[in-house]
Structure 1
């Protein structure tokens, strides 16, 4: 009797082992990041080609639905970041700012004037705060598990780096390069 109960427990235990796969919509996240960063940086987005068959319509319709998910919080963050970007452009071009691999902005080198250093420090702090809020809100809208936000940040980091003005320092796996 004991052996039978033990065997049943062992079988139930084996069947109850579950592997949890956390869904991460990589393509949707890349498209959303590109859309948001382009809007903030004032770059035009490329128009998607129209689907040619019924089988192409369904995924496009789903992706369009996901990408159109926005809310007041995301819109407000984008607007604030767009205004701030205009103020930070001279600092990017002068080589004071660097775009990191984790989606945040870094003061790469300091301006000479104390007034400019303080102004830049405040701008960068506010920008990084808003980026962090943006990543969390995009993750929420795209139903991305909070454990995957670092992955989302890296996706955004590529977009920030790709659209950074010339003069910006870009962090790579091997160090920093100036764009």
Structure 2
């Protein structure tokens, strides 16, 4: 009897020791950043048509065949017995990175419009470049016509304000505000990766390079 009395206590202690490790989903963040950035700079790739099933989706094809029932041994191997026992899994499922909230999409729309109307020409001329911290920087003010400098500087400031806001908003929208710094890093790399040939960017040491 004494041996069995210790089992509930041991189960409670084991449950307390299990911690859920929610890690930063870097791959998902990169995909989200690519979608966001390429829409802002106007290089969103065309959607690919859905692939048809190998059997054409016709009745009687391989997709319509019923799978044989699982044997007990196979079924048992797929059950998380720790979860059944109430202890839970120690491995957290990787969350997706959502950029579809109204606030994020509103920022994206503003950034895309501003980039196309005021910033693109300055990137083409080499006046502007992507800074290493995920913002836009004036690289060579002399390349901006004197009559346009005030407007361009204001557009750069507005673009950077929106950039900083969206990194925070994405982290908050995905229920992990502590991810803001990592979101910024992923976006910083993506702006450079999506930049067109001839545009300028800063490397990790702050030196300007032309793509």
Question: Shared topology, TM-score over 0.5?
Answer: yes
Q: Is residue 2:101 matched to residue 1:76?
A: no
RMSD: 3.1
CA distance in 1, matches of 2:109, 2:190: 17
The answer for the alignment partner of 2:40 in structure 1 is: 40
Selected match of 1:159 from 190, 193, 197: 190
Q: CA offsets, 1:42-93, max 9 Å, x none?
A: 223475998xxxxxxxxxxx88x83555111111111111111112111001
The higher relative CO (CA closer than 8 Å, separation ≥ 6) is in 1
Shift of 1:97: 0.8
CA distance in 1, matches of 2:137, 2:192: 12
CA distance in 2, matches of 1:49, 1:172: 38
The answer for the alignment partner of 2:9 in structure 1 is: none
Q: Is residue 2:134 matched to residue 1:108?
A: no
CA distance 1:69–1:109, shift in 2 (3 Å): closer
CA distance in 2, matches of 1:107, 1:69: 28
Shift of 1:168: 2.1
Q: 1:3-152 alignment to 2 at 5 Å?
A: 23-45=23-45, 66-67=96-97, 70-86=100-116, 87-111=118-142, 113-146=145-178, 148-152=179-183
* TM-score where L is the length of structure 1: 0.71
CA distance in 2, matches of 1:90, 1:33: 23
CA distance in 2, matches of 1:70, 1:92: 27
CA distance 1:35–1:160, shift in 2 (3 Å): same
Shift of 1:142: 2.4
The answer for the alignment partner of 1:176 in structure 2 is: 208
Unaligned runs of 5+ in 2: 1-15, 52-92
8 Å CA contact 1:70, 1:141 repeated in 2: no
CA distance in 1, matches of 2:197, 2:149: 20
SS of the equivalent of 1:173 reads coil
8 Å CA contact 1:96, 1:109 repeated in 2: yes
